[in-house]
Chains A and B, each alone.
Chain A
Amino acid sequence: MGGAHADVSKHVKAYIGVFVALAVLTVVTVLASYIQVSMGLHITIALVIATIKASFVAAIFMHLKWERGASIWWSLCLCAIFFAVLMMLPSLTVYDHPPRVEDKMWDLPAVQKAPSEHH
C-alpha cells in the first residue's frame, strides 16, 4: 500500500472533485425538500442523495477505493449485515403487532399537534 500512495498528489484532484460533488449534492438535497411530492418519495430522494454523498466520503476520503486489507473488508461486510438486521427492527416491532397499528394506539393523546397542512 505504501507504493500505491507514493504519488499522493494524484489523489488530491480526487479530493477536490469529491468536495465539489458533496457541496453540489448538499444544495440539491435542500432544494429537493421544497419539491411537492408524496412523503414516501420525498424521504426516498433525501436518503438516496445522502447515500451517494456517504459513498463518496467512504470511497475517497476514507480511502476505501484503494483499500486492499481483506480484514477490513470482512469486518465491514459483517457490520453491514448486522446493520441491516438492526434496521429490520422497527418493522418487526410495528408490522407484526397488528392490534397496535390498527387501533392507532400511539396516536391517541395527540401529543404532537397534527400538522396543519402538507404542501
Chain B
Amino acid sequence: MSTQVLPYTVHPHPITGVYSGKLGTWLFLASEVMLFGALFSTYVLLRIGAGDAWPSHHDTHLSIPIGTINTLVLIVSSVTMVMAWASLKMGNLSMGRAYLAVTVLLAITFLVVKFFFEYKVKWAAGTRPSTSTFFAIYFTLTGLHAIHILGGIVVISYFLFPGVGLWKKDPEYYTNRIECTGLYWHFVDLVWIFLFPVLYLM
C-alpha cells in the first residue's frame, strides 16, 4: 500500500513499552467505559427516581436460567479467545484458528439465544421498549451490547479467514492484532458481567 513503514506497529516502543495498536485499543476501551458508564449512570438515576415503583426481578419476567447460560457462553468465549492468542504466541496457527472459530461460534450462540429466546419471546408477549422504563433500559443496554458482540464477530471472522494472510508475512504482527481483538472481546464480556446482575438479578 504505501512505501513508508511506521515504527512500533509490531514491536513495543523501547520507552513506552507497548506497541501502538495495543495502546490505541486501550484508549478506545477507555472511551467505551465512558459510553457504558453514562448508560449505567442513567440506569441508576432512573431507578432511584422511580423509588418503589421500580419492578423487582420477579416482576420483569426475565429468564434467569437463560441469562445464566448466556453469561457462561460469553465467559467460555473469553477463555477461547485468550487461548487463541496464547496458541499463536507459541507459534501454533492451526490451534489458534480453531480457538478463534470456537469463539465466533459461541458469540453467534449468544446472539441466537438473545434474539430467539429473549427478544422474540418478549416481543410476542407485547413487551416493547416503551412498555416501561425498565424495559427501555433493558432493550437499549442489551441491544447496544449485542451490537458490540456483532462487531466482535465481524472482526474475529476477518482475522479467521481473509486476514490470516498476515500470519505468513509477519506472525508477530498477526498475533498482536489478535491480542488487540482479544482486549476488545474481553471488554464486551466484562460489560455483560455487569449487565447480567443489574438487569436480571436486581
Question: Do A and B touch each other in the complex, judged by CB within 8 A?
Answer: yes
Name the contact of B202 in the complex, choosing from A27, A43, A54, A62 (C-beta under 8 A). Answer: A43
| Known A23-B72, A43-B202, A61-B182; contact A2-B11, beta-carbon cutoff 8 A | yes
The answer to whether B37 and A87 have CB atoms under 8 Å apart is: yes
Looking across the interface, which residue of chain A has its beta carbon closest to that of B27? A75
The docked-state distance in angstroms from the alpha carbon of A19 to that of B77 is 10
The docked-state distance in angstroms from the alpha carbon of A24 to that of B38 is 29
Q: How large is the interface on B (under 10, 10 to 19, 20 to 34, 35 or more residues)?
A: 35 or more
Contacts of A57 in B (CB 8 A): 78, 186, 189-190, 193
Q: B residues 40-56 with Cβ under 8 Å of A? A: 40-41, 44-45, 48-56
Partner-B contacts on A (CB < 8 A): 1-2, 5, 8-9, 11-12, 15-16, 18-19, 22-23, 26-27, 29-30, 32-33, 42-43, 46-47, 49-50, 53-54, 57-58, 60-63, 68-72, 75-76, 78-79, 82-83, 86-87, 89-90, 93-94, 104, 106-107, 110-116, 118-119
In the assembled complex, 13 residue pairs joining A and B whose CB atoms fall closer than 8 Å, in A order, are: A26-B196, A29-B196, A30-B68, A43-B202, A50-B196, A54-B193, A61-B78, A68-B17, A71-B18, A72-B26, A106-B53, A107-B53, A111-B133
Partner-A contacts on B (CB < 8 A): 11-12, 16-18, 22-23, 26-27, 30, 33-34, 37-38, 40-41, 44-45, 48-59, 64, 68, 71-72, 75-76, 78-79, 81-83, 86, 89-90, 132-134, 179, 182-183, 186-187, 189-190, 193-194, 196-198, 200-202
